[in-house]
Amino acid sequence: MPSFVAEDGTGMSTATSLCSVADADDHFTTHPLGTTRWASALTTGQKQSKLMQSTAIAARELRWRGSLVNQAQALPLPASGLYDHLGRELGYTSVPADVAKGIAELAGLIDSQGVIAGGAASVKSKSTGPTSVAYGGGGNSAAGIAGIPGEVIRWLRPYIYTEPLMVRA
């Protein structure tokens, strides 16, 4: 297993997570479902593994907004040109706090087999005549995007594209 390296906002080439264990612990301490999703019985290594898995899923499946800080960075954040849910431009020297919370939420939904709890099959594309719509990252449904549950997407929404890609057949 690769070593756990939380992104520090510099665009690290070695980063494996968009959320530190401390940030995830803080999030779940105040989260109503924290005791069931982020069990205190988990070791630090298990928490790191879940955070790396959730980061890998989100980085691969979602279309992220903004421009990379440098071409060598391993993850889609930090990035320039990002705005929060109130329309305020964010600096590009950190991972937005809501992104860390979303990654923690997704980590809390990953079971011991690495499967996202509540993940449902979703529509990957629709075609009408010569026009087809392919949903970014492989799927889009009311429950979430690309198989990532809506309770995670709500934290990430300002930083990802949620609209489907239009493709002309």
Q: Looking at the domain assignment, is residue 125 inside a domain?
A: yes
- Please give the residue range of the domain that contains residue 72: 21-168
- Which residues does the chain have with pLDDT short of 70? 1, 32-36, 112-114, 117-144, 164-169
Residue 122's pLDDT is what? 46
pLDDT at 79: 95
Can you give the pLDDT at residue 139? 41
| Other beta carbons within 10 Å of 88 | 9
Q: How many domains does the chain have?
A: 1
Query: Domain for residue 6, yes or no?
Result: no
**pLDDT, tens only, 136-168:** 444 434 456 878 898 899 999 999 998 766 666
Assess if residue 4 is contained within a domain: no
Q: Is residue 9 part of a domain?
A: no
Report the pLDDT value the prediction gives residue 140, as an integer from 0 to 100.
39
- The vertex-28 CA angle with 77 and 151, nearest 5°, equals 65
| 3 within a domain of the structure (yes/no) | no
Q: How high is the pLDDT of residue 145?
A: 82
Q: Report if residue 41 sits inside a domain.
A: yes
Within a domain: 116: yes
pTM, 2 dp: 0.80
Q: Does residue 128 lie within any of the structural domains?
A: yes
107 vs 24: CA distance, rounded Å: 9
**67-75 own/partner pairs: CB under 8 Å, 24+ apart:** 68/11, 69/10, 69/11, 70/11, 72/11, 72/13, 73/11, 73/12, 73/13, 73/15, 74/12, 74/13, 74/14, 74/15, 74/16, 75/7, 75/12, 75/15, 75/18
